[in-house]
Structure 1
């Protein structure tokens, strides 16, 4: 699988429509689910154990999309298979009263994984360059001196890029997934949730209300992706109409990153190795 074609370029402006919402893989759902996903999840699990044992690097995974695009399912079907000891999941909602009294990146810090962990953000700091552009809500204190409602977004893109570079330079690698879903597919998924009693809990009335801003969201997403996809912290644009294909891509992109990090189990040497052998002998001679 050539994962590079899903990676958002950082050297030129790209239209979101250049990335398909589907590659016709829905008909392969069963094959991908039963034959393709299990072995690559096993490889991801092995690499995650090594990452957790080595405690040299951490990975922060950003999942961003409109409702029903597949973020929660990706966490359930892929990341939930990993060792819970080295996994951290954070969901960001509307900023609380306390969070609003701080800078917008302040609430990120508790969500940052330790070295050896994979941290997952279901929605993220990117909400602060999405929702306020659609619905407003910035206060006077949110604007740096000289900034206005137009220039603030490029300023925030630069701040986010600097923040993610800071994380990267301190051993936390940020990989970001945007679930690129068509309006028709979202309609079908929302209707399924609304008409299926067992899925009613997944539905919110705001999901339908937000569809009124579909075009505005697409414009904001495009500018956000172009403004914040960097060499050290790239965005990957997933064809989210193909649900299992998207989960496969997330898994393979994570495997690619972990292979490049090449985590290794710590090796016992010197006095610790001698002590290890001493304790082995002690137990074997009981």
Structure 2
């Protein structure tokens, strides 16, 4: 079964109702062996494209992963990017802002880690937390040091959406390809994964009481994600809603999205000039001398 990434892309300017987006779809693999084979194929293709991306040094690629707790962000990044040369790729995970970060605008801490040309940057959570978790928990906003005027909840979210869209448009104009992936997990599947984290000793470290606390706000998060996806999925920086109940299937879809993003870039290995060829021939003659 061929993966068509357009099936998962959020159309620009359209209403988003996550209840109409599936959390599970027909698998693109028929067995674990076939899944492994397909993933290895995607990883190999990605490795080859990344080498070309690095050598051409014309664009940057920014991948943003968002999703509910236990949606599989870490696993997707680890498996899909397993064949990528670490010299050309960096992963950043954004947790609660530090005191220093709160002294700046809400985009500052992530802007510092944007990828250079020729490199892939991966944000595990991102500046989108400032219109997601902060919107679900307004007490966080009240403690961010903003003046009362600047944190007016009647206007702040639309203003932050505008800031994000403007930033992403600016990055696009300057050679950064942005791909945003929302791993769409069902509430029931999250419950099962939380239980697995409790029952399996090797997964205990992944679980905290904060996870259960946030689960109480599931409906609020759904509404907030809908508003965010609707306001910030654009032609130049689209959101993809990836069904995440099946981890293996989600990884194959994610890898296809990343491959398509790289294939869309106009990349080529640098051409050797006549002067450079002459220089190389001179070096070759020196190396041939005994």
TM-score (norm 2): 0.94
Indicate yes or no: 2:179 matched with 1:175.
yes
1:74 alignment partner in structure 2: 76
Indicate yes or no: 2:283 matched with 1:279.
yes
1:194 alignment partner in structure 2: 198
1:58 alignment partner in structure 2: 60
Q: Which runs of 5+ in 2 are unaligned?
A: none
Match of 2:129 among 116, 127, 130: 127
Shift of 1:146: 7.4
Aligned Cα RMSD in Å? 1.7
Match of 1:92 among 86, 91, 94: 94
- Once the two structures are superposed, residues 23-69 of structure 1 have per-residue CA deviations (whole angstroms, 9 ceiling, x without a partner) of 14398461453221111111111000100111100001000011110
2:141 alignment partner in structure 1: 138
Match of 2:255 among 248, 251, 254: 251
CA distance in 1, matches of 2:174, 2:69: 32
1:20 alignment partner in structure 2: 22
CA distance in 2, matches of 1:179, 1:142: 31
1:48 alignment partner in structure 2: 50
2:216 alignment partner in structure 1: 212
- Once the two structures are superposed, residues 56-107 of structure 1 have per-residue CA deviations (whole angstroms, 9 ceiling, x without a partner) of 0000100001111010001111113201010011000001011111100010
TM-score (norm 1): 0.95
SS of the equivalent of 2:217 reads helix
Question: Could you say which structure has the higher helix fraction?
Answer: 1
Equivalent residues of 2:141, 2:151 under 8 A apart: no
Q: Which runs of 5+ in 1 are unaligned?
A: none
Shift of 1:281: 2.1
2:113 alignment partner in structure 1: 111
CA distance in 2, matches of 1:57, 1:143: 38
SS of the equivalent of 2:180 reads strand
CA distance in 2, matches of 1:194, 1:143: 42
CA distance in 2, matches of 1:7, 1:13: 13
